[in-house]
């Protein structure tokens, strides 16, 4: 079936460090890929998305590239801030399926 696997957390980094959160997926066809972010006490917010192979999604300094050959959609940011502390979810939707399939989430802590 369709699934998303992302790296286990928590991930703890110092401010201004480089961030990578790995995400791989299993899906038939051509899924759309997403990163959602959940700040403490808040709901899910779409961070970025990519709908076809080699697309790069970007927002707020975060980037992720849809790699069909490696079935990956790793999240990166060049210089993290304390305000980036949150839980990050990799997700997909497939074809005509409406539902979003989420990974387990990766908690990120940024230390000042």
Residues found near another protein in the complex (CB under 8 A): 34, 36, 42-46, 49, 89, 96-105
Choose between 80 and 90: whose C-beta lies nearer to another protein. Answer: 90
Query: Which of 17/107 has CB closer to another protein?
Result: 107
Smallest distance from another protein to CB 50, Å: 12
Decide whether 16 or 97 has the Cβ nearer to another protein.
97
CB burial of residue 66 (10 Å; 0-12, 13-18, 19+): buried
How far is residue 59 CA from its own chain's centroid? 12
User: Beta-carbon neighbour count of residue 52 at 10 Å?
Assistant: 11
């Amino acid at each position: 079936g369709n699934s998303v696997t992302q790296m286990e957390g928590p991930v703890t980094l110092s401010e201004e460090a480089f961030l990578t959160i790995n995400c791989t997926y299993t899906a038939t066809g051509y899924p759309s890929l997403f990163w959602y972010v959940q700040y403490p006490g808040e709901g899910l917010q779409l961070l970025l998305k990519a709908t076809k192979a080699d697309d790069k999604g970007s927002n707020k300094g975060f980037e992720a590239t849809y790699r069909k050959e490696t079935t990956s959609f790793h999240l990166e940011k060049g210089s993290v801030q304390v305000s980036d502390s949150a839980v990050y979810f990799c997700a997909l939707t497939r074809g005509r399926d409406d539902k979003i399939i989420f990974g387990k989430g990766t908690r990120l802590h940024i230390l000042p």
